[in-house]
Amino acid sequence: MSTKVMLYVNTIRRMRPGMILARLCPQRRVAISAQDESHSLCPVHLCIPELDLAESYTSRFDVSALLQDEFLLINERHHVDFNAWNVTEASHLWNFNLHYFEYGIALAAAWKNTGDEKYIACFKRLIISWIDACPYAEGDAWHPYTISLRIINWMIALDLFGDVLAGDSAFTNAVTKSMYLQYLHLLINQEKHLRANHYWENLKTLLICSVAFGERDVYGRVLRDFEGQLNEQILSDGVHFERSLMYHKLVLEGMLRVWLAANQADCPLPKAFIPKAQAMLNAMVSLEKGMGKTPFFNDAADGVAKDCNQLVFACKRVLGLDADDSLTAFPDAGYYKLYNGDIAVMFDAGEPGPSYMLGHAHCDCLSFELSYKGRPVIVNSGTYAYQSELRPYFRSTAAHNTVMVDGEEQMECWGEHRVGKSYRDVRVIELSDKRLLFEMTLSSGTCLHRLVALLKGKLEIADSLVSEEGRSFSSYLHFTSGISAEMLGERIGLSSTKAHLVVELESCRAELLSAHTSPLFGVLTDCSVIVMHPFDGKNVNYSIEF
């Protein structure tokens, strides 16, 4: 790892000049004269029943606990002091989620399902207490990203409640006034210093708000930036450029909301909008096909974005798009799929993300995940938390099913969301429906090859160093929780109630370890890990047979 000074140098040098200038600019404030202006809110119907009323989504939030001021967010519970709207013992990410107000949708869904007015009362109480306790423009409550998510979540909840709130003019006026101030603040504080998915969420929300508040001039200005980001962030193969399938799904959902708002107000959208949405849909269903979960490449976990199938149904109804799940190669993103019978495998042989923003990148190049009969078997470790002493491990090379050379990390991941030096020159040398050959070069100059062949009921892996004297490496395999491992000479037997497999070793020795995976934010599960070391220092060959 470089010195702290060099980490900053290597991180800053990859940023765009405009990002650096934007970071140097202080927060701007809405003029006092504009803070008390009254504006009418045109109802925008943003609810998508396939997404917002799905039990698998609403059950993420314990609405009964919300009635007692207890919040279940990213699998962690806390009581909230509404005088502060901040939980000091919780993480920064948890407090961000508190200010997203996504649980408001669950309250609205509970009211819609039961007709019980206690959910209306709870929703109104939470909104008013937030407005009273979060003065302009202090703390996480007024961060551009929390504003971007909160306003949309408020709109979805208001759409679900419908006319039932119309009789409370004091409440609706307070909400409208607060939303307009949040919108104005976001308009002058877009996250151009971060860009990527944060900037996307800013632009998405500004488009929808400009429709809701009837400000077509703002819509036109924001649309130009939105179109630029649409073309930049959605790669030609349809994958979001941060190479996280979790954020990919969040962006696709946002496109559905933008479409709904624009069409209700007869506002234009870029010509590329529908083709990009179609490409994203195809990439999502193809990459998740047979995997049984969100693939854990870069920052990704289940329980954050909507489920793949829900998004498929929503895209069909809202946009009229059918999903094509037959794609196997995504060369812009560097993702590839192999299938054989009941086995589905996804590989990463690409860049970690946009070079100027690698905040969600992991050291997972040449890594893979494998599922059998739609159930995960070999998995990357996932994403436990953004603010945690475990954050460095979950981003590390050893937390993924890839190769580590003499302890050298593929990237210098530091802080919560920073990257210094990184690997380079990733190439696909051979590509077929049965064999893949990848090559990558570490920042030290060491070159690695990984050959993958998927035959009937068997995956073969061959790892090698290319012309490197005095260096050796280790190959890692992480198994999903619930699979037990046993050494059987030169074989390793693995079994669970759902699958039985054998890892056959060639030209290498292996050791069994235990580690953690995190299928959901804030959730740790134990897993078995096999670490293979070459006898000759240069070659590891093994196979996985079902």
Q: Report pTM.
A: 0.96
Q: What's the CA gap between 254 and 314, in Å, rounded?
A: 12
Average pLDDT over residues 488-493: 87
Where do the DSSP E strands lie in 354-507? Answer: 368-372, 375-378, 403-405, 411-414, 418-422, 424-431, 435-441, 447-455, 458-466, 473-478, 484-488, 491-495, 500-506
What are the distances in angstroms from CA 270 to CA 222, 231, 255? 12, 10, 12
- Percent of the chain past pLDDT 90, that is, above it, reads 87
**Residues 67 and 122: beta-carbon distance below 8 Å:** yes
Q: What's the CA gap between 401 and 542, in Å, rounded?
A: 13
Tokens of 357: 């923003």
- pLDDT (tens digit, 9 = 90+) per residue, 181-207? 999 999 999 999 999 999 999 999 999
Could you identify the residue written with the tokens 């494998």? 370
Q: Is 519 exposed, middle or buried (0-12, 13-18, 19+ CB in 10 A)?
A: buried
206 membership: H or E segment, kind and range: helix 196-212
- pLDDT (tens digit, 9 = 90+) per residue, 418-435? 999 999 999 999 999 999
Domain map (residue ranges) of the chain: 44-189, 194-327, 343-545
Which residue in 296, 436, 454 sits closest to 376, CA to CA? Answer: 296
Q: What's the CA gap between 393 and 43, in Å, rounded?
A: 46
- pLDDT (tens digit, 9 = 90+) per residue, 369-421? 999 999 999 999 999 999 999 999 999 999 999 999 999 999 999 999 999 99
What are the distances in angstroms from CA 286 to CA 34, 210, 314, 480? 48, 35, 17, 22
Peptide bond before residue 137 is cis, with ω within 30 degrees of 0: yes
Model pLDDT, residue 210: 97
CATH fourth-level superfamily of 44-189: Chondroitin AC/alginate lyase (1.50.10.100)
Q: What's the CA gap between 210 and 184, in Å, rounded?
A: 10
CA trace torsion 420, 421, 423, 425 (10° rounding): 110
The pLDDT of residue 1 is above 70: no
Fold of 343-545: Beta-galactosidase; Chain A, domain 5 (2.70.98)
Higher pLDDT, 249 or 11: 249
